[in-house]
């Protein structure tokens, strides 16, 4: 090989070696740069709570600036945004956060017990139990009028399960708002189902009329009442107006009943025995949805799914503080239950419904059933009911 060719070959090797060294130097520099950035990062840079909260809305971020970046705080910020919460000042926000933390701990500890139901954060999680009782429950009502009834059972084989929603006669879930008027929604729910079953079409009836006008029958507007007493009022008043003509306001007001706007009339009523779940099951199975009253205890407000049961709620005539509508029954994972429609909006519970354990007179249930007078149902009038039922006619 000539000296010139040897020099060219040597130059190529030198350039290749220099290029390789340059690449190694660049890679080393990048690694050193990354290490120095990681070593100099702050808590905020590496904190997963901070990184998640960086993607929140402006409202959620403003909440975190007040109460800090913690897991409870992040849950609270998301809760407040989802449910449209707006607090008057920083002090109220901090108070609501403390209540939220306590309720969240209750929810999580309950869900670890292996019970047949689960709880979840909902629109009430920043309310204290006292506030919830004031705004969503009525004062304890006396169901003693139904301790001895005249309902008669018949020898009939009941279906293993029932769900009146599948028949299409159950009206949509409503929301009573911040008013202890659950008893009015239980009443209208029963009447609306009876009307739909008899006449083949839906109707929405006025809860507000009951709030404003039924006081003479031992009802107290936003402070509570009973469906049985509401049915008696409708019977003697001459009817119940439609929702459209007498809309709901969630406040106590002056009576504005108009006979021109009546949707249904109650013709008669009858009681059955308080706590007789066999009679209640017979009524739900063979006739239609039944108004029921029971006692709500603190954990129930966070119900999400499963079959609710409690060892702390009462079962005497004076224990009931909430009225709802039983629309069916069944068995879930070996636990028999009542299927019940609530009046706390469709976001609460299982799309506005819940299941309660059957067979133990859970929480002092008593009920009220309405019968519409057509030929077939009049023949059944003396055979069905739950604590109280009524005969109605529509217009």
Q: What is the pLDDT of residues 79-124, one digit of tens each?
A: 998 999 988 998 998 999 999 999 999 999 999 999 999 999 999 9
Q: Give the percent of the chain with pLDDT over 70.
A: 68
- Residues identified as active-site: 182, 322, 342
Higher pLDDT, 236 or 371: 236
pLDDT exceeds 60 at position 217: yes
Q: Does residue 89 sit in helix, strand or coil?
A: coil
Q: Does residue 113 sit in helix, strand or coil?
A: coil
Residues in CB range of 260: below 8 A, 6 or more apart: none
Higher pLDDT, 233 or 6: 233
Q: Does residue 305 sit in helix, strand or coil?
A: strand
Contact in structure between 194 and 331 (CB atoms under 8 Å): no
Residues in CB range of 233: below 8 A, 6 or more apart: 210, 213, 214, 216, 217, 219
Q: What is the pLDDT of residue 161?
A: 98
* Mean pLDDT value across the chain: 79
Nearest CA to 302 out of 337, 347, 340 is that of 347
Q: How many helices (H) and strands (E) are present in the chain, helices listed first?
A: 12, 11
The residue assigned the tokens 């520099």 is 29
Contact in structure between 210 and 231 (CB atoms under 8 Å): no
Q: Cα dist. 11→2, 7, 114, 133, 358 in Å?
A: 15, 6, 78, 91, 93
The number of beta carbons lying within 10 Å of the beta carbon of residue 350 is 14
pLDDT exceeds 70 at position 174: yes
Per residue in 112-161, pLDDT tens? 999 999 999 999 999 999 999 999 987 666 554 455 554 456 678 999 99
Phi/psi for 144 (5° steps) reads: -65, -20
Q: What is the pLDDT of residue 361?
A: 59
Q: What is the pLDDT of residue 247?
A: 99
């Amino acid at each position: 090989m000539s000296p010139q060719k040897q020099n060219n070959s040597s130059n190529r090797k030198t350039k290749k070696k220099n290029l390789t060294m340059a690449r190694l130097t660049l890679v080393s520099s990048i690694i050193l740069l990354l290490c120095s950035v990681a070593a100099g990062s702050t808590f905020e840079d590496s904190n997963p709570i901070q990184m998640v909260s960086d993607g929140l809305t402006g409202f959620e971020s403003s909440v975190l600036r007040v109460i800090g970046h913690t897991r409870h705080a992040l849950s609270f910020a998301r809760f407040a945004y989802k449910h449209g919460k707006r607090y008057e000042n920083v002090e109220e926000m901090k108070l609501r956060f403390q209540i939220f933390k306590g309720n969240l701990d209750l929810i999580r500890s309950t869900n670890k017990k292996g019970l047949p139901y689960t709880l979840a954060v909902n629109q009430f999680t920043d309310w204290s139990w006292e506030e919830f009782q004031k705004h969503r429950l009525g004062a304890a009502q006396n169901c003693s009028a139904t301790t001895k009834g005249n309902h008669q059972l018949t020898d009939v084989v009941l279906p293993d399960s029932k769900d009146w929603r599948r028949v299409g006669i159950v009206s949509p879930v409503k929301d009573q708002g911040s008013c202890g008027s659950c008893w009015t929604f239980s009443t209208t729910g029963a009447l609306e189902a009876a009307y739909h079953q008899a006449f083949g079409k839906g109707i929405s009836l006025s809860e507000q009329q009951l709030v404003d006008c039924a006081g003479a029958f031992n009802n107290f507007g936003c402070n509570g009442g009973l469906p049985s007493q509401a049915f008696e009022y409708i019977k003697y008043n001459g009817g119940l107006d439609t929702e459209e003509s007498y809309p709901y306001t969630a406040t106590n007001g002056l009576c504005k009943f108009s006979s021109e706007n009546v949707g249904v009339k109650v013709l008669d009523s009858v009681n059955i025995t308080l706590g007789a779940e066999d009679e209640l099951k017979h009524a739900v199975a063979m006739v239609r949805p039944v108004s029921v009253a029971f006692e709500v205890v603190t954990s129930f407000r966070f119900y999400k799914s499963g079959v609710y049961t409690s060892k702390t709620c009462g079962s005497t005539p004076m224990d009931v503080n909430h009225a709802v509508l039983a629309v069916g029954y069944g068995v879930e994972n070996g636990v028999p239950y009542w299927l019940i429609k609530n009046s706390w909006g469709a976001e609460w519970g299982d799309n506005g419904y819940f299941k309660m354990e059957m067979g133990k007179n859970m929480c002092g249930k008593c009920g009220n059933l309405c019968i519409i007078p057509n030929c077939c149902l009049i023949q059944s009038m003396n055979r069905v009911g739950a604590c109280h039922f009524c005969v109605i006619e529509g217009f």
